Structure 1
């Protein structure tokens, strides 16, 4: 059961008013799975009503991906059709909006398949899309849509309406004015980010069961929330929902071990009980009860894939976290609790004086560059987050999921 037409239309309006505002003559790209068609159509209706020049919907079928993983020549599994990249290049040239609908029809579809082959095929991930997003070349956002099989993965039964009940609350669609509710929440997150920036911390330490990890920060570390501006200065909100404040760490100064506190769905494989050991900024050991080989292959895809590119803090006021559910969808789970990401650093989280288009300069400054960016969850009430000051002092940031400053 999908949302009633009026509610689905209202959801599309919130996406296009709050997250990825559409302006007259905009080109709009919507990436979705086949099961997301009702929302994709509602987004097209709402975008054209706002004067969009053209709305292009690309439907990805994960079952076709499974067939490829099973049967294709392994030498071809890393290939990406050039016309898909050309679509993103055209959006960059024209300027516009990129909306990706999340909520996999089958989060663990590749369970039982060869993990090495599964990791080689990273579709529907595209490095050209990552570039649009990391560099904010367009207004972009990710939004969820409940499907029966996603609900089955979460609840053990295909109760789509139950999943929608949670999503309504998480997306603030239950508020009298969702737009105002999101503005208030973003203001809160931006205020917290400013406080963290003013602290001028040297590093952050995570401590908890199986976790003792210290992450060095860049000089004059810059913290942000997901309210951003594209290269033309137009405001948008990356991710709906969003509950995080984040920064880009110094990838060279990461040492210790970290245990994921939630499973991670990665390209059709669910990674469970993930543990990563770091030394000198690089992952040295990967352990997991399932999916470890997928992570190892993914992190071997380029030189930066086994290094950190994001550090994000989420407190217990998150509506995603308060739902008490693991969604097996990173868009939601990363907004339930603190998370890290291996792969590319986030330009908005880099101090202005260190930003550059030159990968060599970024690397020299400690900003990771990579063709991948994968968030994994490491926080929760059992994990304490401590800020380390340049003078040697310490300040607790989060304890029991509550801000301590």
Structure 2
């Protein structure tokens, strides 16, 4: 699908991303996990070779195929749904890096499965995610995600496989002779925008568009992040708000595929920080079951904006990794239900104890589900002294 040159560039960018998402680059002797779908085998090999050359201990994990996932969820009993392999906690406690190469061959293969069964697996794995989150807070773990084109993705996006692959090449700067340099340049520009947003010290953000009238409260001790290396590509600027200040209505005009299910036209009503009503044009049962997954799954864990000047993505890609970075004519806003990002805490990460997280309104959940709106919108920041400032309109930040 990709030429050998593009493949090599892709692997270079992913290894750069692992270094960019941590305080100091990976060191010889660190442990790295490469997790991949079978269609992305060539890229997994190229990434692993680079990590071995760096002196890392490299592990490889092949994801279940869609057929294997379906067989599992159809037949597994409660004990099997909640099973965590022996040694998993010890491995996660030792990992220095993780790369996940997404190349799905099916996107709705679990549509007939009771969503509660899918949610039970997510809850069982949450302690492992908590381990990695703590290691990331300590600066000793980094991760990144990327996408490999498949016929299923292209068909769901309404593109030919060749056009789908071309979108990935453009979005990830793989058509540039030095894509790592392009990403480093973008990182510096993002840092300038982050500093501007942090300097506003907004007390509220009001998002207005067709179908959206949402107020989000950034909260105390927050900072904006963007292009952290965690996702390739990544053009969004985001923070984890104080969930308690969320109110209003949000509409996702882009479909979303999650856990083998399709949800289209999701609309959420918030009061007192929680979802009090949820509708969807398609997949409403799955949406409601996901929101009921645990005590934090009906609260906001993330608020994000993408400036269209950064992103070359101008087509629906049927994959959140790309759709949450959509540029197009109007940029995009997305919110995530569920888990927050402790890395958006503005203080010393060592001080962000579970108690402090709770007091500051950082949400905790086994869920993290991004829902995207790409329509024209205005975002107004409420500042100290009653002042207001439009910070985003026409798909661009206004600084």
Taking structure 1 as the reference length, the TM-score comes to 0.88
Distance 1:170 1:338, change over 3 A: same
Structure 2: gaps (5+ residues): 20-24, 327-331
Structure 1: gaps (5+ residues): 228-236
- Are 1:153 and 2:156 an aligned pair? yes
Give the deviation of 1:142 after TM superposition.
0.8
2:142 to 98, 121, 139: 139
Residue number in structure 2 paired with 1:373:
368
- SS at the partner of 1:377? strand
CA contact (8 A) 1:133 1:140 kept: no
Counterparts of residues 1-400 of structure 1 (less than 5 Å): 2-20=1-19, 22-73=26-77, 75-76=78-79, 78-83=81-86, 86-87=87-88, 89-93=90-94, 95-122=95-122, 127-129=127-129, 131-133=131-133, 136=136, 137-155=140-158, 159-227=160-228, 237-319=229-311, 322-336=312-326, 337-352=332-347, 356-378=351-373, 380-400=374-394
Moved over 6 A (4+): none
CA contact (8 A) 2:103 2:148 kept: yes
CA RMSD of aligned residues (A): 2.4
For 2:284 and 2:125, locate their aligned partners in 1 and report how far apart those are by CA, in whole Å: 19
Give the deviation of 1:114 after TM superposition.
4.2
Deviation per residue, 1:134-177 (Å, 9 max, x gap): 75151111111112222222126xx4332211111100111121
Taking structure 2 as the reference length, the TM-score comes to 0.89
- SS at the partner of 2:242? strand
- SS at the partner of 1:14? helix
CA contact (8 A) 2:219 2:241 kept: yes
Distance 1:359 1:78, change over 3 A: farther
Give the deviation of 1:314 after TM superposition.
0.8
Distance 1:87 1:120, change over 3 A: closer
